[in-house]
Amino acid sequence: MNDYARIAEHFNGDVTNHTITAQCEDEDDLFRYLRFAAPKTSMTVVELVAWPHNLVIAGSHGSFHFAHYAADREDMFDAFRGRVSPDHWARMLVNGRGSVAQYDRSLLEARIREYTREAIREGWAPRGVGKAVTEDVLESGYLDDENNAVRVVGEFQYGVKERRECSCGAADEDAGRYDQGVMWAIRHERENGKTHKVRTRQLEGFDFDDVHEWNIHSLDYHYVWQCHAIVWAVSQYDAARKAVAA
Ligand SMILES: [Zn+2]
């Protein structure tokens, strides 16, 4: 798991001696190029290129292109003043959020544990659920690969009882037996025609909801570093302009 506070610390340590070493701008048309470097000792270079609605950060930590075509984002420097928000800004990446987010097994495991603990605390999980989750999910050996992991978690059930009900009011009275329930639904729909729609309702038991919506991706180290670099570079630029004006 990437520790974002640690990345901020690294960034601050990396640019202690850095100043603007090249600058080229057409302020009226919002075309800007900035380069930041330090005396020979440092390999770290930050470069910033901006044109209306676009900003590219480049240099020693890789390049990332942001674009936002809203009326108030003609000057993209305005989007990067203040708090560093890598997660939020990822939506402006031309290559998409997926280009900087990786599957993070530790985030998934933490979410599984939290979800299970909550279910036990709220009293709706059947007894023994903790052990089952540990053995069949956490220790399944399938969590290293994202697709396998999401499937294993999404399909996990413990003590589940279901009832099948049709739009006509008929129901499978033998609730709880999965194979018989499926047979009943097929038979009922075949015998009564297309207007009959059987739905499945979960009466009790434990499973994981909305697994596809869980946040199980952490942001790329260099991307987060460069987000700090943008905010820092823009503030350096602002300070330099203020100095010139005064
Ligand atoms: Zn029916």
Could you read off the pLDDT of 110-151 as tens digits, one per residue? 999 999 999 999 999 999 999 999 999 999 999 999 999 999
Q: Provide the β-strand partners of residue 139.
A: none
CA of 167 to the centre of ligand 1 (A): 6
Helix (H) or strand (E) holding 50: strand 46-51
CA of 190 to the centre of ligand 1 (A): 10
pLDDT score of 70: 93
pLDDT score of 175: 60
pLDDT score of 169: 92
pLDDT score of 172: 86
Q: Between helices 221-245 and 4-14, what is the axis angle to 10°?
A: 50
CB atoms within 10 A of CB 184: 20
Smallest CA-to-CA distance from 216 within 104, 84, 88 is with: 104
Helices and strands in the chain, H and E counts: 7, 9
CA of 157 to the centre of ligand 1 (A): 27
pLDDT score of 57: 98
Residue 73: which residues within 8 A CB-CB, separation 6 or more?
A: 53, 79
CA of 57 to the centre of ligand 1 (A): 61
CA of 232 to the centre of ligand 1 (A): 65
Sole residue written with tokens 């999980």:
125
pLDDT score of 173: 75
CA of 158 to the centre of ligand 1 (A): 29
CA of 184 to the centre of ligand 1 (A): 11
Amino acid type, 137: V
Helix segments in 60-133, DSSP class H? 86-89, 105-122, 129-133
Q: Three-state DSSP class for 150?
A: helix
CA of 213 to the centre of ligand 1 (A): 33
For residue 38, pLDDT over 90 is answered with no
CA of 179 to the centre of ligand 1 (A): 19
CA of 198 to the centre of ligand 1 (A): 7
Domain ranges of the chain: 4-102+218-245, 105-215
CA of 189 to the centre of ligand 1 (A): 7
Q: What is the mean pLDDT of the chain?
A: 91
CA of 170 to the centre of ligand 1 (A): 5
